[in-house]
Amino acid sequence: MNLILLGAPGAGKGTQAEVICAAKGIPAISTGNILREAVKNGTESGLKAKKYMDAGELVPDEVVIGILKDRISEPDCKDGFILDGFPRTVPQAEALESMGVRIDRVVEIYVPDEKIAKRLGGRRVCEACGNSYHVDYKPTKVEGVCDACGGRVVTRKDDEPATVLERLRVYHEKTAPLKDFYEARGKLKTVVGQEAVEDTTRLMLAALE
Ligand code: AP5
């Protein structure tokens, strides 16, 4: 199954992608994670991407499309994949189509903008391994220390309040039109993001039946 997760920043795409990955045995591909790794490693695409990411803007289509194309041609994607954070613009969705990639289902996780600030304001990520936590919903066992690798757990630069507002603005302008794009192709289902992660997961798995 080839699946796309749509939704505003902080709607819970990454959280749900991990659960579906475990349930369905297909890899979850986050273009945000790939880009953050590229920034950390100082690669050419990382150097191009950093200023856009820090400002809450989208990285140019040609950079992200190239990264995605390489990733989905890896052997672990042969039985399907979950795209978390791609496509984010209509040209990115058109690029997927022109690569001949069949998409089985697109699930939008809907969370109102007012709730996003609390979710992203409380998110913490491990500098070393990238694991994601939340001060209320998913705290680390020891404050500031990653449960998985012992790395330092910090606030993501683009989770600062002003940058979150800009990410939301960009989402509504550039990414939300993808709902119409996939609705017109009969692929879109919408799940309302719930307070408890497990409740969203239950709705999400039902949407994939
Ligand atoms: P990316 O990392 O993809 O950021 P995003 O879409 O803004 O998504 P987030 O990771 O912020 O949120 P999420 O929906 O995954 O939520 P999460 O599960 O973490 O991209 C970063 C940047 O990279 C972009 O701004 C852009 O610059 C660039 N980029 C990436 N892809 C691109 C592309 N295709 N084109 C151009 N540029 C691109 O949950 C959020 C928090 O809420 C967590 O802490 C979680 O624990 C908590 N939470 C609370 N309650 C719940 C609940 N019920 N369900 C789930 N999570 C919950």
Mean pLDDT by 10 residues, the chain (209 residues): 96 94 95 94 93 96 96 96 98 97 97 92 93 93 97 94 95 98 97 95 93
Instruction: Please tell me the residue having the least CA distance from ligand 1 atom 55.
Output: 12
Q: How far apart are CA 75 and CA 81, in angstroms?
A: 11
Report in angstroms the alpha-carbon separations of 187 from 45, 72, 107, 179, 205. Answer: 31, 20, 8, 9, 15
How much is the pLDDT for 53?
A: 96
Which residue ranges make up each domain of the chain?
2-26+79-112+168-207
The pLDDT, as a whole number, for residue 209 is 86
- Six-digit token pair at 36? 């953050």
Say how many Å lie between the CA of residue 130 and the centre of ligand 1.
12
Distance of CA 75 from the midpoint of ligand 1 (Å): 25
Q: Give me ligand 1 centre to Cα 122, in Å.
A: 13
Q: 5, 18, 20, 59: which to mutate for ligand 1, most atoms within 8 A of CB?
A: 59
| Strand pairing report for 153-154 and 123-126 | antiparallel
Please say whether the structural domain 2-26+79-112+168-207 has been given the CATH code 3.40.50.460. no
